[in-house]
Amino acid sequence: SQQGEEDPQALSIQEGENATMNCSYKTSINNLQWYRQNSGRGLVHLILIRSNEREKHSGRLRVTLDTSKKSSSLLITASRAADTASYFCAIANFGNEKLTFGTGTRLTIIP
Amino acid sequence: DAEITQSPRHKITETGRQVTLACHQTWNHNNMFWYRQDLGHGLRLIHYSYGVQDTNKGEVSDGYSVSRSNTEDLPLTLESAASSQTSVYFCASSETQGLAGISYNEQFFGPGTRLTVL
């Protein structure tokens, strides 16, 4: 069964607004990663946050991790039309190299 | 530049036929993975390999097999294709944590193969 569950499943916002999507998981983790998938393409790694970190930034991306609630959020600030894509969280457990992906959030930016 | 490629990009086959999907990476990564992506299920792991001659079953391995004879390639074989195997297939690779200063297991994905089984 999948560990990562994204919320919401779909999100539409106006260009320039901020987009927030959430990921919940069930067990202890080594790290949590976020990926983007443009239509018809493979996934691209965006950002990784380790289990001992609480917040991380990369450009317009901000990721938070709350291990007590077993949840993470991805914030995209000042959204652009090019941010339209599906976003997936991926869970990395200790002791192996596998990732478990959630079902994704489909983000649409309205120009 | 290093990359990961998949071929073919699109494939139509008939029920019962054997199909092989190719995956080739030039990152020199130890780890390679095969996923399938279906609406409502996200990405599900089929098989994975941590090195030459190493293969492991993932979450949805029934009806699929892989072999790893070199670092660069991990072909995925559908022994007898079924309509339930119609999907988009992604190959990915990563380096092993702890090697050469690598401290996280980011995966690099290929462009995908869309397989239709009629």
Mean pLDDT estimate for chain A: 93
Cis peptide before B8 (omega within 30 of 0): yes
- Cα gap A59→A76, rounded to integer Å: 9
Q: How many Å separate Cα B48 from the centre of its chain?
A: 7
- Tell me whether A69 touches chain B (CB under 8 Å): no
- Tell me whether B35 touches chain A (CB under 8 Å): yes
CA distance A24 to chain B (A): 15
Q: How far apart are the first and last CA of chain A?
A: 37
Is A28 or B74 the better-scoring residue by pLDDT? B74
pLDDT tens readout for residues A83-106 = 999 999 999 988 788 999 988 999
Q: How many Å separate Cα A1 from the centre of its chain?
A: 18
CA distance A104 to chain B (A): 6
pLDDT tens readout for residues A44-63 = 999 999 999 999 999 999 99
Q: How many Å separate Cα A35 from the centre of its chain?
A: 6
Is A78 or A5 the better-scoring residue by pLDDT? A78
CA-CA-CA-CA torsion sign (B12, B15, B17, B23): positive
Q: What's the longest Cα–Cα distance across chain B?
A: 47
Give every residue of chain B whose pLDDT is below 70, as ranges. 98-103
